[in-house]
A and B are shown apart, each in its own frame.
Chain A
Amino acid sequence: MNAGLEHFLTVGALLFGLGVFAVLTRRNAVGLLMGVELILNAANLNFAAFARYVEHGIDGQVLAAFVIVLAAAEAAVALAIVLAMFRNFGTVHVDAVDRLRR
């Protein structure tokens, strides 16, 4: 079977579902971020796939490059927050950081 647009989109959908599942179930903040990375990669894969199967399409790849840049910025800030959280609370479990709720 020839690998076409739908095959790439299916891989993207699988990655997206797995990422959503990780975001919903992980309690470790870093594991949660890994889920976010999976979701971003899924979206990026879709961008690249659509750019490939459209005539003279390059915009999808441009957007995918922007997503990669923003994901790097997001990861830097989010991991800094995780480290600050670890320093202040001694844990990286997202359930434990609920001081504002009490």
Chain B
Amino acid sequence: MSGDLAFYGFAALTVLSAFYVVFSRNIVHAGFSLLFTLFGVAGLYAMLAADFLAATQVIVYIGGVLVLILFTVMMTRIPRRGAGGRGLDRFVPAGVFALLLFALLYKVITGTPWAEKAPVSADPTTARLGASFLTDFVFPFEFVSLILLAAMIGAAILIRDRRPAADDGAGGAAAPTGEEERS
């Protein structure tokens, strides 16, 4: 069936590019690979009849978060020092831990008798989603806008360049000593 083909296509796109995100040594390549992961997840949302989520995923994640990430990668790129950027000492335990975690999740997924209904109609859910936002979830909906405002102000304050203001000693002197300590 074409639906299954689409599922396996999107799933393969998601998982393979996620592998590249995790294992790539070049952080720029990892960032661009994340694009395909997010796109694959958007496709999976569309297959789950979550059309609004799919559109939001493309707009917010690919159009917003990913651009931010790539900007930060470009702005903070440093010459590669030594080998790669990760050590084998944490590679192995982390791999074992992640594998065990996946094995546990997979066991739970396959072992649980889900009360799975036959897929309900694949109507667009945007209208129901909007009604839900403004009735049952109206408080979280308003609260999340407050969080967004706070995050915006917080990010702007964090990113502000304080160098000119910090010429009165304490703040300005701290940075150079840190540089010397490291080198």
Contacts and interface: CB of A to CB of B under 8 A. Distances in A.
B78 A15 contact: no
B109 A75 contact: no
B112 to A, nearest CB: 9
The interface size bin for chain B is: 35 or more
Contact of A83 (B57, B72, B140): B72
B76 A86 contact: yes
Contacts of B173: none
Q: Is the interface of A mostly helix, strand, loop or mixed?
A: helix
Contacts of B95: 21, 25
Contact of A62 (B48, B132, B147, B161): B132
Q: Is the interface of B mostly helix, strand, loop or mixed?
A: helix
Interface in B22-62: 22, 27, 30-31, 34, 37-38, 41, 44-45, 47-50, 52-53, 56-57, 60-61
Contacts of A83: 72, 75-76, 158-159
A90 B181 CA distance: 12
Nearest to B18: A18
Interface in A22-57: 22, 24-28, 30-31, 33-35, 37-38, 41, 44-45, 48-49, 51-57
